[in-house]
Amino acid sequence: MSTPSITLDDLRARDRRLDRRLATYGSPADLAVMIRTGLVAADYAALTLTGTPLEDWDPAVWAGHGLMQSGTTVRPTAWKPTWLDHYDTVAPDEAPSRRSMRRFDADVPADPFYQQTMKHAGAKTVGQRDAVRAAALAGSGDTVICILPTGSGKSDVVLTRALRNRPRQTVIVVPTVSLALDLERRVRKLVGDDRAQFAYFGAADQSTKHDIRAGIASGSQWLTIAAPEAACTTLAAPLIEAASSGSLDLIVVDEAHIVAEWGDAFRPAFQTFAGLRQRLLETAPVGRQPATVLLTGTLDTYGLTTLTRLFPGRQRLLICGQATRPEPAWWAAQCADESDKRNRLVEALRHLPRPALVYTTLHMSERSTNTRTALKWLTHAGFTAVTEIAGNPQPSTRQAAVRGLRLEGRPDKDLDIVVATSAFGLGIDIDDVRSVVHLCVPESVDRLYQEVGRSGRDGRAAASLVLWTTADMAVATEMARERLIGPDLAWSRWQGMRQGRWSGDDLTVDLRADHANVKYPASDTNIYWNVQTLAAMDRAGMIQRQWPLPAAVPADAGDDEVEAFFDTQRTAAVVKVQHSDLDDFDTFRTRFTASQRATRDAANAGLTAATGLINGVDECTNRYLARHYRLGDDQGNQFPVSVACGGCPHCRRTGTPPTPVPTYPTLWAGQLRTEAIDDLRHLATDGRMSVQINTPNDEALQTLVDRLLRRGITIVATATSEARQWRTRATGPWWRDDIHVWAGQLDTPWRVPTLLVIDSSVDDAVLMRALSRLAKQPLGVVLTAPDRRDPVNPKQFLHEAWTPSYEIEDVLRKI
């Protein structure tokens, strides 16, 4: 079979990145890999060079990127390096180059209130549907934790409520300005207003920031999206004012797993925001406290424990639809030394599609590959569309990198590769990252999985490659254990901090407190270790931390200034002492050691899981990950993870093709309870009533259903054959269930007013189960024909058993 051919214009039309790079005369190294990607995607087609700017290129350039020149054409060869486990069948760059689809929506029928608000005919997954329901039903002071995979529509979960509950206010806390701007663009489209301002960030013009602050305080700003640093500084006062007036309806934390992962030191504002949120709840009028929704794609048991402790709710519901990522294929190779690692990195990036992220653990240290060294390797190899994001970058630096990867600026500012430490990428939604390369061993499986998960967010195939040496393994081990302060040193630090100001059981501690071995009390290092001491004591249940809000930040401060100001002002913490015997060394040591042992075990488990994946395990990588992320809560509930695989060593060896995410029911723990409006509740006795209907299709029935829905009925359980699109003006959340399915569910997280519509297609066995479940709801209304018999006691009619009973006209007069 002959090799298909393609023109450069064809490639440019298919790849906007290549088109922009050719317009700016990019380097051969940058261009050749994109040309290779396009040709592989076109079934390894040949490219005609005649009449193009490429016809005079040195054949060595093509050969270095796996492209063989023959006369006036070049064509790609399959890249199957001997140092990777391709088993001579799978080329690591092939599926990502072809953008093979790996994630498919389950296409669950949408609930009416979701369909009306978001204009979607279906939900992406059962988990998304149930999370939307949970967020919509959450009541005053409730907390909902939603764990949904990337790409399953987490934003819709909270935007549905925010849009429907206008003008009551929603505040969404996000980790990056880029994510805030993405959400703002999305909401502008939903409301049809290209000029609406929702994102609050330092680089916004002063009038916009002033208007948002004023709108929050007055109640007219129905949606605000901001980083936690801004929420805890310039927005704190107006948010408190909004809460005190009862207009604040919903608090959202996106990417909530980082509260546990980074909240102790790297982004302390996330844990400070937990304290602000508590203050907002305490300020709000009774019955008007905002609900809280925490969104994340992955969460382990330690993270769940942290979120539960920091964001308690009147009622708590966990919705878990966790699944392993189906997009990335996993590859790893041990390198003999740094030179070997460099050669393999350059070879890989001459073949793997763009954009690509390259991660290291180190910023400047020479213990192993750092960002500066990796950048030098790539620039010496001829790559020019590359930048470095190291350490804790300023927001403006992160934003510039994201704009470059997204091709949002001038073509000469485009980026194909970002070399970064783990700080880069979190919360940044770049759909089409195709390749992630680690030049290190991440110190935990959480970090590895999060960084790999920044690829393939569009649901299409991506490549994950880890290149490591024995030195990297040593660095990972050291990193995993470095934050574990010992009990003796912790005792010395606690003795210094407990000399602060007491008020009852509350102690205001100075984070600059020193002890005998501290030379520079105000140093970042001393503050860091004091914070770690308090964090360990908090986990041990010895104290409860309450971070005070920083002093006022100038309203015109930029993002970099706000973040820097936040850090410099973080010199104190308020702790509530939970035990009166913390002045006894032996007691302190016993409690502290027990907690640190659990923390050390968790750190060791995370490191072991990461190194296991990199070294290779004798099972599917994603099954291994699913076991690690199997959640357990404080009530003994277990939450397994659905397994999908985009390719791994075990599956390649066994010839198992990539598998998408299977559809599993949502897992949940806890319940949400809602009540009907008083005039409906007063008609019922012990939470039940029945209505007799004679003509199921008349206007009176339509009117009755409309009024019931507007008074708090949430579930309408009816036979599929009789399901109808009820005409309703109800603004609250409601949905319809098939009575045969609904009756078979032994329990659900929803304790809600429910309407049961009985017709001749519902047999007595189904009706008995449905009535048993209906009796557990806070209000159960039965619509039944007058002559329908009670399935428990056929000698009486159903309306005689399910009392009080009303004629339909009587109910309409009363409600």
Does residue 27 belong to any structural domain of this protein? yes
Tell me the one-letter amino acid at 107. Answer: D
pLDDT at 572: 79
State whether 139 and 270 are in the same domain.
yes
State whether 29 and 134 are in the same domain.
no
Tell me the one-letter amino acid at 402. Answer: V
- Boundary of a domain, candidates 302, 324, 346: 324
Does residue 628 belong to any structural domain of this protein? no
Q: What are phi and psi of 750, to 5 degrees?
A: -100, 115
Tell me the one-letter amino acid at 641. Answer: V
Which 8-state DSSP code applies to residue 351? T
CATH number of the domain bearing residue 238:
3.40.50.300
CB 261 within 8 A of CB 308: no
Q: Given pLDDT bands bounded at 50, 70 and 90, which one contains residue 526?
A: confident
CB 758 within 8 A of CB 788: yes
Q: Given pLDDT bands bounded at 50, 70 and 90, which one contains residue 532?
A: confident
pLDDT at 601: 82
* Residue reference for tokens 């994946």: 613
Does residue 43 belong to any structural domain of this protein? yes
Share of the chain above pLDDT 70, in %: 94
What average pLDDT does range 187-215 have in this prediction?
A: 93
Does residue 417 belong to any structural domain of this protein? no
The least confident of 35-44, 141-150, 677-686, 691-700 is 691-700
What average pLDDT does range 378-393 have in this prediction?
A: 90
CA separation for the pair 397, 418 (Å, rounded): 12
Does residue 668 belong to any structural domain of this protein? no
Which 8-state DSSP code applies to residue 77? -
State whether 133 and 173 are in the same domain.
yes
Please tell me whether residue 398 adopts helix, strand or coil conformation. Answer: helix
Query: Does position 240 have pLDDT exceeding 80, yes or no?
Result: yes
pLDDT at 368: 92
Query: Does position 668 have pLDDT exceeding 60, yes or no?
Result: yes
Query: Does position 101 have pLDDT exceeding 60, yes or no?
Result: yes
State whether 792 and 686 are in the same domain.
yes
Q: Residues 472-517: pLDDT tens digits?
A: 999 999 888 766 788 999 999 999 998 888 888 788 888 888 876 7
pLDDT at 597: 83
CB 562 within 8 A of CB 230: yes
State whether 136 and 24 are in the same domain.
no
- Rounded to the nearest 10°, the torsion over CA 135, 138, 143, 144 is -30
CB 96 within 8 A of CB 434: yes
Of 356 and 533, the structure prediction assigns the larger pLDDT to 356
State whether 156 and 201 are in the same domain.
yes
Average pLDDT, the chain: 89
pLDDT at 221: 97
Query: Does position 377 have pLDDT exceeding 70, yes or no?
Result: yes
Does residue 612 belong to any structural domain of this protein? no
pLDDT at 721: 52
The least confident of 415-429, 594-608, 619-633, 735-749 is 415-429
* Structural domains counted in the chain: 4
CA separation for the pair 268, 330 (Å, rounded): 32
Cα 222-224-225 angle, rounded to 5 deg: 150
Query: Does position 549 have pLDDT exceeding 70, yes or no?
Result: no
Single out the residue of 783, 772, 774 nearest to residue 752, CA to CA.
774
Query: Does position 569 have pLDDT exceeding 60, yes or no?
Result: no
Q: Tokens standing for 812?
A: 């309409």
- Boundary of a domain, candidates 600, 622, 656: 600
pLDDT at 795: 93
Does residue 314 belong to any structural domain of this protein? yes
CATH number of the domain bearing residue 724:
3.40.50
Of 466 and 553, the structure prediction assigns the larger pLDDT to 466
Radius of gyration of the chain (CA): 29
Burial of 719 from C-beta contacts in 10 A (0-12 / 13-18 / 19+): middle
* Residue reference for tokens 């490639």: 11
Of 381 and 124, the structure prediction assigns the larger pLDDT to 381
Q: Given pLDDT bands bounded at 50, 70 and 90, which one contains residue 665?
A: low
pLDDT at 263: 53
Q: Given pLDDT bands bounded at 50, 70 and 90, which one contains residue 8?
A: very high
Q: Given pLDDT bands bounded at 50, 70 and 90, which one contains residue 461?
A: very high
What average pLDDT does range 359-388 have in this prediction?
A: 94
pLDDT at 284: 97
pLDDT at 426: 57
Q: Which domain holds residue 243?
A: 108-324
Q: Given pLDDT bands bounded at 50, 70 and 90, which one contains residue 720?
A: low
The least confident of 139-148, 181-190, 594-603 is 594-603
The least confident of 101-105, 332-336, 551-555 is 551-555
State whether 73 and 112 are in the same domain.
no
The least confident of 48-62, 64-78, 191-205, 382-396 is 382-396
What average pLDDT does range 197-208 have in this prediction?
A: 90
pLDDT at 804: 96
What average pLDDT does range 388-409 have in this prediction?
A: 84
Q: Residues 404-439: pLDDT tens digits?
A: 999 999 999 999 999 998 866 655 678 899 999 999
pLDDT at 557: 73
- Boundary of a domain, candidates 276, 301, 324: 324
State whether 36 and 112 are in the same domain.
no
State whether 114 and 26 are in the same domain.
no
State whether 205 and 307 are in the same domain.
yes
Q: Give Cα 399 to chain centroid, integer Å.
A: 19
State whether 123 and 58 are in the same domain.
no
Query: Does position 722 have pLDDT exceeding 70, yes or no?
Result: no
**How far lies 140's CA from each of 163, 242, 291, 292, in Å?**
18, 15, 5, 9
Does residue 454 belong to any structural domain of this protein? no
In sequence order, the 6+-apart residues with CB closer than 8 A to the CB of 38 are 6, 11, 14, 15, 18, 97
> Angle between the 524-539 and 585-615 helix axes, to the nearest 10 degrees?
100
pLDDT at 320: 93
Query: Does position 63 have pLDDT exceeding 60, yes or no?
Result: yes
State whether 117 and 247 are in the same domain.
yes
CB 280 within 8 A of CB 290: yes
